[in-house]
Amino acid sequence: ETGVTQSPTHLIKTRGQQVTLRCSSQSGHNTVSWYQQALGQGPQFIFQYYREEENGRGNFPPRFSGLQFPNYSSELNVNALELDDSALYLCASRRQGGNTEAFFGQGTRLTVV
């Protein structure tokens, strides 16, 4: 196991609702990023946090937002849920640096109905 834990594992929400997903980073990792993986596709980068600041963002609208806490845990918030937001959401943590690999949690499966 990598030490990155995500909660909840599964979630069902109604269109228009808001959702918060949580991630606990691996010990010693100060950088956390979030990815959306639609069925049959590769993970798509949402954003990254380092020292509680967002320092990178993919092509996702502002209704996708996040937080990183002093203990390096993180949240992903999605407002005004749409059916297309149904996906596996992956959190990954790593040490800061260009050559460091990211370790992924098992993901949260979000279904929007």
Partner 1 sequence: AQSVAQPEDQVNVAEGNPLTVKCTYSVSGNPYLFWYVQYPNRGLQFLLKYITGDNLVKGSYGFEAEFNKSQTSFHLKKPSALVSDSALYFCAVRGVNFNKFYFGSGTKLNVKP
Q: How many residues bind partner 1 (CB under 8 A)?
A: 27
Smallest distance from partner 1 to CB 89, Å:
10
User: Going residue by residue from 80 to 99, which x/- string records binding to partner 1, judged by CB under 8 A?
Assistant: ----------x-x----xxx
Please report whether residue 55 would count as binding partner 1 according to CB under 8 A: yes
Chain-centroid distance, C-alpha 85: 13
Nearer to partner 1, 66 or 105 (CB): 105
Interaction of residue 107 with partner 1, rule CB under 8 A: yes
Stretch that binds partner 1, among 11-19, 53-61, 64-72, 73-81 (CB under 8 A): 53-61
Contact flag: residue 18 with partner 1 (CB under 8 A) = no
Whole-angstrom Cα distance, residue 102 to residue 113? 31
The answer to whether the beta carbons of residues 78 and 23 sit under 8 Å apart is: no
Gap between the Cα atoms of 44 and 51, Å rounded? 22
Residues at the site binding partner 1, with contacts judged by CB under 8 A: 2, 4, 6, 33, 35, 41-45, 48, 55-56, 58, 90, 92, 97-99, 101-107, 109
